[in-house]
Amino acid sequence: MHNLLNDSNKSTNCTEVYGAIVAELLSYTATAKNQPVEATHQTRKKLKLLRAFAKLIKPARKSYDYNSVNILLRDWGRVFSDLRDTHVRDLMLREFAQNSEYREEVYLIDHLINLNNVELSVLESASLYRADEFSTLEENLRNNPLIRKYFSDHTNTPLILEGYNNSYLKSRYAFRSAFTNHNPEDIHEWRKRAKDLQYQTELLMSAESDENLMNLHANIAEICDALGAANDLHMLQSWIDEIAKSDESINFSVIQNKINSANRDSMSKAENRGKLFYETFQEPLLTLISK
């Protein structure tokens, strides 16, 4: 918890908050050689937290400065995406192998695990596993002038509240679009906007936060968990779809159907929780201001 929320007459030291987030991030990159899976996962999470922080203080910054910083942080995170996706596939497939619902597809799952391991070996032999990318990221976070400047100035609390309210409204609009059109791109947009709101709520929380704010965070976190599960299942399904196209000698349809069903269940859970969330927390700023 970084406790960005101060009295309305005060301002937040953004350098201090940025430094705390970066220190957490670098504590994971330092373990990349011995724990590459966890280092990759946590590095991506902390970069997303930084992007959410950048968006939170956007009302106090120039738009072109925000756009430049957002693009930088996005591009730095993309370096780790392929490896993370491969790790997630491996974990999911191994969980399926232990799940009785998939016992008749164990041979298929073993085959998919082996194929995924081939991809993983290629990625592990790339520069990422020689720690080059982690070292480059560390250098950028410490010394990139644009990043340092953006997070250096103080920000007044009312502008932070404005940034938070903007994120809430964008997440609500994305939710409505997602389940009006049922377009995968709209659902993906809601997942991103909901994650922004989750991270920003964490930045505003403290050990003394009132129960309403804690409940708001718990609810948006549950939504993000359901959306994340659906996204991982969709990613796995798309990967298997590509394998099935290139190898017609194996019938993957049963496992594809089961993954598709699990994906639908996760999306249904996210939709139901989303409806309840936006009905319950229609004015989140009142929750923050009343703390």
What totals of helices (H) and strands (E) does the chain contain, helices first?
12, 2
Contacts of 239 (CB under 8 A, 6+ apart): 89
Length of the chain: 291
Find how far residue 100's CA is from the centre of its chain.
Answer: 30
> Which residues lie closer than 8 Å to 127 by C-beta, 6 or more apart?
133
Partnered with residue 12 across adjacent β-strands are: 155
**Res 5: pLDDT:** 58
* pLDDT score at 1: 44
Classified as helix, coil or strand, 199 is helix
CA 103 and chain centroid, separation: 31
Kindly list the averaged pLDDT for each block of 10 residues, start to end, along the chain of length 291. Answer: 55 88 94 85 94 95 93 92 89 94 91 93 68 86 93 88 94 94 89 96 80 92 95 94 89 92 94 96 77 49
Confidence at residue 290, expressed as pLDDT on a 0 to 100 scale: 56
9 DSSP 8-state letter: T
| Token pair listed for 157 | 């609390």
How far is it, in rounded angstroms, from Cα 191 to Cα 175?
9
Position of tokens 């309403």? 212
Token pair in block for residue 49: 């937290």
At residue 32, φ and ψ (nearest 5 deg) are: -60, -35
Report how far residue 114's alpha carbon sits from residue 170's, in angstroms, rounded to the nearest whole number: 41
**Can you tell me which residue has the tokens 């998919």?**
112
Looking at residue 130, its pLDDT comes to 57
Q: Which residues of 21-53 are buried (b: 16+ CB within 10 A; e: fewer)?
A: bbeebbebbeebeeebbebbbbbbbbbbbbbbb
Q: Exposed (0-12), middle (13-18) or buried (19+): which is 245, by Cβ within 10 Å?
A: exposed
